[in-house]
Amino acid sequence: MNNSLHNKKILIVGGSSGIGLAISKHAYKAGGQLIIASRNAAGRHNDLAALIGNGIETYSFDITSENETVSVMEEIGDIDHLVITARPEISPAPFAETDIKQAKQAFETKFWGQYQLIQKAQGHIRQNGSIILTTGIAGEKIFKNASTMTIINSATDAFCRLLAVELAPIRVNVVSPGFVAPKPPEVEAYAQQFPSGKIASPEEVADAYIYLMKNPYITGTSLVIDGGAILI
Ligand SMILES: NC(=O)c1ccc[n+]([C@@H]2O[C@H](COP(=O)([O-])OP(=O)(O)OC[C@H]3O[C@@H](n4cnc5c(N)ncnc54)[C@H](OP(=O)(O)O)[C@@H]3O)[C@@H](O)[C@H]2O)c1
C-alpha cells in the first residue's frame, strides 16, 4: 500500500501559524500538494511561500462562515487529507467569571467551525484519505481557568470517534498537544516538572499529524503529544 504523501492534496485549515505552519512545512517537504486556508492566508501568500515553498496554494476564508466554507471547498475541489488547527481567541478565567459570549465565539470557531467544514468537505475527501482534528491538554486534564477549552476539546474528541464510524472508510483522528512553544517564562518553568522536562516545539507536534496521515490503519484515535504533562 502506498502511504507516502507524495502528490497527495493536503488542506491545512489554520496552516498559516503555529502548529499548522509546522505541519505545512513538514507535509510540503514530504512531497504533499499543499493548500493553506485561514482568514488571512491568501493575503500572506508570499510570506508563507517563502517559509514553506513556492508550490503552495493559499485561500482566505473564515471557518465560522457557511458561505465562505462552501465557496472555498468548491474552489479547492477534491483532497486527500484535511487537517484543522484553527485556534479561537479565549482569555483564561475561572468558570464563574468566563464571558459566555467569548466562550460561545470560541465554540463557533473551534467546534462548530470544524463541524460545518467537515459537512461541506466530506464529499471532496478521497476514500483513502483522512481528517485530523486538534484537541489539547485541557481536554485530557483539568486546569483551572481553562473551562471553555476543556469542554471544546472533550466534545471534539467524541466528534472524532463518531466521524471515524460515520465517514468510514475516510479515517478520522485527533492530535492532542500539550504545551507548545512559544510560551511565557512561567509556563516554561512549569514544564520543567514534566517527564519531558520541557514544552514541545511545533515541529515535534507536527510529526504526529504526518504519522496519522500516512498510517492507513489508524482511525478514531487521539494521539497525545504532551511530554507526559498529564502524568504530574
Ligand atoms: N499552542 C499550544 O500550546 C496548544 C496547546 C494545545 C492545543 N492547541 C490547539 O492547537 C491548535 C493550533 O494552535 P496554535 O497555537 O498553533 O494556533 P495559532 O498559532 O494561533 O494559529 C491558529 C491558526 O488558525 C487560523 N484561524 C483562527 N481563526 C480562524 C477562523 N475563524 N477561520 C479560519 N482560520 C482561523 C489562524 O489564521 P488567521 O488568523 O489567518 O485566520 C492561524 O492560522 C488549536 O486548536 C489549539 O487550541 C494549541
Mean pLDDT of 100-124: 98
- Strands 9-13 and 33-38, sheet pairing: parallel
Mean pLDDT of 19-40: 98
Query: Cα of 47 to ligand 1 centre, how many Å?
Result: 18
pLDDT at 219 > cutoff 90 = yes
- Per-residue model confidence (pLDDT) at position 20: 98
Query: Cα of 6 to ligand 1 centre, how many Å?
Result: 26
Confidence label for 200 from pLDDT (cuts 50, 70 and 90): very high
**154 in helix, strand or coil?**
helix
Q: CA distances (Å), 117 to each of 120, 189, 226, in order? A: 5, 37, 27
- Per-residue model confidence (pLDDT) at position 100: 97
> Which residue minimizes the CA distance to atom 20 of ligand 1?
87
- Per-residue model confidence (pLDDT) at position 170: 98
- Per-residue model confidence (pLDDT) at position 3: 79
Mean pLDDT of 93-108: 97
Mean pLDDT of 139-157: 97
Strands (E), 32-88: 33-38, 57-60, 79-84
Residue by residue, DSSP assigns 167-225 as STTSEEEEEEE-SBSS--HHHHHHHTTSTTSSPBPHHHHHHHHHHHHH-TT--S-EEEE
> Which residue minimizes the CA distance to atom 2 of ligand 1?
180
Domains of the chain with CATH codes = 9-224 (3.40.50.720)
Confidence label for 2 from pLDDT (cuts 50, 70 and 90): low
pLDDT at 1 > cutoff 60 = no
Which residues is 131 bridged to in the sheet? 82, 172
DSSP 48: H
Q: CA distances (Å), 14 to each of 18, 19, 207, 225, in order? A: 8, 8, 16, 19
Q: Which helix (H) or strand (E) holds 17?
A: none
Pocket of ligand 1 (CB under 6 A): 13-14, 16-20, 38-41, 62-64, 85-87, 109-110, 134, 136-137, 177, 179-180
CB 31 within 8 Å of CB 4: yes
> Which residue minimizes the CA distance to atom 1 of ligand 1?
180
> Which residue minimizes the CA distance to atom 41 of ligand 1?
39
Q: Model confidence over 113-138: pLDDT tens digits?
A: 999 999 999 999 999 999 999 999 99
Q: Provide Rg for the chain, Cα atoms.
A: 17
- In 3D space, the residue among 228, 232, 176, 229 whose CA is nearest the CA of residue 205 turns out to be 176
> Which residue minimizes the CA distance to atom 14 of ligand 1?
18
